[in-house]
Structure 1
Amino acid sequence: MSVWWWQKAITQPALLQALLFLTAGHQATLESSNGVSSLVIKKSMRDSLHLRGDTLKMLNNIMQDPLTAVAESTTLVVASLVAIEAVDANIEAHDAHMKGLQRLVQLMGGLDNLDHMTQSKIYHDVKSAALYNTRPIFPISTRWRSEIIQDFRLLLTRDEIDTPKDLASLGVTIFSSSWYTTLDRTLKIFFQVIQRLIIYYEHAQRNPASVMPTDNDLFLVAEHQILSACFETTDPTDINEPLRLTLVIYLNLRVWHFQSFPFMQYVVESLRQSLEVPYQHLQNETPELLFWILVLGGLASQGYKCHRWYLTRLIEMTERLGLSEWQAARAVLGRYFYTDQPSEKRAEEDLWNEVHLKGTCKLLLEGQRSGALGH
């Protein structure tokens, strides 16, 4: 998909500017999360803002011409801006571009009149839905979905797919647990689909030659479907909604690798709120499941306000389950949904170090208090 975007950008200056804007913003965000000097970060941010301004100027010029305003390339530029502003959590700019995109799609005669890859870019509005924790605005086109090369085999059938030996235990605890039988039927399907997609993703990572042009679309469909569902309830034993949001976080954290983008703080906050009612039930009845949720929430919330909330509870659950070493914790996670991602190693180490450092401090304080009481 990225190759297709850059090919389009060669002949579309506004799209080229939008991609450069995205790249500069990504670089600044990565520098910020990796301890680069503030001077370097400021320069990258200035570059990003400058490119953003150039992109908007070019887009405004395009919109002044009735012919270019309704060109498919314009729709592609605006769809790119919607996705960029969504992951950057620029609410006002995002909302303005989303209104423009809806109008352009309408003027183009609907989604089915657009190129498959242009539609794919529009379906990145799943990031908008994740930002707001709402259903995606654009429905999945039947024609577009039928063009996903491997869709039938992976999402619509129960045919066996090649599973790497180290992933043989992926999800076994989920599907063998009594709590799984109580879930909403739709959520059960989501778990089955995500398991197949994780295996496919891992296979593609290890065998690049097997990658197909529409691979990204598989994950867009899955995320779209998960975000289109909602399980609001006041029942303290109902765990459907926090599990739905955990799957959203898994896709954005371990597949799309979007932890460093600001919209993730909204997603982890939505998960935190969804855990408030069933937390005690999860803690008492399904502690390992809660541990898995908290690890993903802890990784996704690094650098954001609600990280302390996840960390505090993760320390409690680590102590409760007797998980003093990462290897033991990793074994538990692997029986749910969790795979080794080289780019996430540092984040894992940072989180586990936080857990042990603060956990040790907690024990020392408790020991001091006990000693004082003893005297």
Structure 2
Amino acid sequence: MSMWWWQKAITQPALLQALLFLTAGHQATLESSSGVSSLVIKKSMRDSLHLRGDTLKTLNNIMQDPLRAVAESTTLVVASLVAIEAVDANIEAHDAHMKGLKRLVQLMGGLDTLDHMTLSKIYQSDVKSAALYNTRPVFPISARWRSEIIQDFRLLLTQDELDTPEDLASLGVTIFSSSWYTMLSHTMKTFLQVMRRLILYYEHAQRNPASVMPTDNDLFLVAEHQVLSACYTTSDPTDINEPLRLTLVVYLNLRVWHFQSFPFMQYVVESLRQSLEVPFLHLQTETPELLFWILVLGSLASQGYKCHRWYINRLIEMTERLGLSEWEEARAILGGYFYTNQTSEKMAEENLWNEVLLRETCKLSLGWRWSGVLGH
């Protein structure tokens, strides 16, 4: 996909500027979470804003030309901007570009008139928009586009078992053997089965880069689109379908797309937090390990955001309830759900576990002091 993008960008100045804008913004985001000096971060932000201005100026010029305005390359640029503004949580700019994208797709004659990779970018922008707002995607999945995903049939439409590495043999085992699994909706069971297959495929691709296919990203776009298209009740305290659905959205954006450092993740983890409010007590008492897995993912995804304290406080409670004191013990539980070892996430995991243990130690210390005061 990256090669295709840059080949297109060579002959499309607006797309090139959009890619440079995205790259500069990504660099600034990574620098801000890596302890780089504020001067360096400010320079990257200035570069990003400058490139954003250039992109919008070029796009506005294109829109003045009736022929260039309805060119497929213009649709690709606008879809790129929708995705960029969505992950950056620039609400006003995102909404304006999404309105333009819907109009362009209509003027182009619909989704099936567009190139496969252009459609991939449209779906990427659509699922990021839906995740930002916790709404259903705007564009339906094109049957033609889906049929062009090389590995779609084997992974999503058949029951053939994939080759599973030994260290991933327990992936999802706890989920599918739990009594609560039988109580889930039919669609949620399907989502969980598909997610397991996708994670195994993702891990295989990470370990065997030569096996990567041009349409690999599309597999995960289809899955995220379908998960975001579902909606479950939030009024029944024993219904856990909705928090499970949003946990899958968090997993995809955290452990597959690696979007934790982008502002839109704050909205995703806040949606998950709200979905947990009604069934929290039920999860805590009836499915504590499931809740622990959800809270770990929520805590990792919310690092640096407002609702992180909410996740951490409840994760500490669940850690105590399950009697966990070492990350290896916690990791063993997580492995039975959906969780894999990722080198790039090691530091985030260490920081999280240190935060849990530190706060737990402080809590115990304060409790001991308070009991001492009462004793005197």
Q: Quickly name the TM-score band, shorter chain normalised.
A: over 0.9
Q: Residue in 2 aligned with 1:37?
A: 37
State how far apart, in whole Å, the 2-side matches of 1:52 and 1:251 are: 27
Q: Residue in 1 aligned with 2:252?
A: 251
State how far apart, in whole Å, the 1-side matches of 2:254 and 2:234 are: 26
Does the CA-based 8 Å contact 2:24-2:47 persist in structure 1?
A: yes
Matches of residues 288-299 of structure 1 in structure 2 within 5 Å?
288-299=289-300
Q: Residue in 2 aligned with 1:9?
A: 9
Q: Residue in 2 aligned with 1:106?
A: 106
State how far apart, in whole Å, the 2-side matches of 1:354 and 1:339 are: 21
SS at match of 2:139: coil
State how far apart, in whole Å, the 2-side matches of 1:263 and 1:232 are: 24
Question: Alpha-carbon deviation of 1:26?
Answer: 0.5
State how far apart, in whole Å, the 2-side matches of 1:177 and 1:206 are: 30
Matches of residues 305-324 of structure 1 in structure 2 within 5 Å?
305-324=306-325
Q: Give the partner amino acid of 2:272.
A: L
Question: Alpha-carbon deviation of 1:36?
Answer: 1.1
Q: Residue in 1 aligned with 2:86?
A: 86
SS at match of 1:304: coil
| Per-residue deviation, residues 261-303 of structure 1 (Å, max 9, x unmatched) | 0000000000000000000000000000000000000000000
Q: Residue in 1 aligned with 2:118?
A: 118
Question: Alpha-carbon deviation of 1:232?
Answer: 2.0
Question: Alpha-carbon deviation of 1:233?
Answer: 2.9
Q: Residue in 1 aligned with 2:63?
A: 63
| Per-residue deviation, residues 50-89 of structure 1 (Å, max 9, x unmatched) | 0000000000011010110000000000000000000000
State how far apart, in whole Å, the 1-side matches of 2:14 and 2:243 are: 40
* TM-score (normalised: structure 2): 0.99
Does the CA-based 8 Å contact 2:75-2:101 persist in structure 1?
A: yes
Does the CA-based 8 Å contact 2:238-2:282 persist in structure 1?
A: yes
Instruction: Let me know the Cα RMSD of the aligned residues.
Output: 0.5
Does residue 350 (structure 1) correspond to residue 351 (structure 2)? The answer is yes
State how far apart, in whole Å, the 2-side matches of 1:303 and 1:309 are: 12
Q: Give the partner amino acid of 2:279.
A: P
| Per-residue deviation, residues 179-214 of structure 1 (Å, max 9, x unmatched) | 000001100000000000000000000001100000
SS at match of 2:76: helix
Does residue 264 (structure 1) correspond to residue 265 (structure 2)? The answer is yes
Q: Residue in 1 aligned with 2:162?
A: 161
Question: Alpha-carbon deviation of 1:38?
Answer: 1.0
State how far apart, in whole Å, the 1-side matches of 2:100 and 2:205 are: 36
SS at match of 1:199: helix
Q: Residue in 1 aligned with 2:370?
A: 369
Matches of residues 317-332 of structure 1 in structure 2 within 5 Å?
317-332=318-333
Does the CA-based 8 Å contact 2:233-2:239 persist in structure 1?
A: no
Q: Residue in 1 aligned with 2:190?
A: 189
- % identical aligned pairs: 87
Question: Alpha-carbon deviation of 1:143?
Answer: 0.4
SS at match of 2:132: helix
Unaligned runs of 5+ in 1: none
Q: Give the partner amino acid of 1:115.
A: D
Number of equivalenced pairs: 375
State how far apart, in whole Å, the 1-side matches of 2:343 and 2:67 are: 47
Question: Alpha-carbon deviation of 1:369?
Answer: 0.6
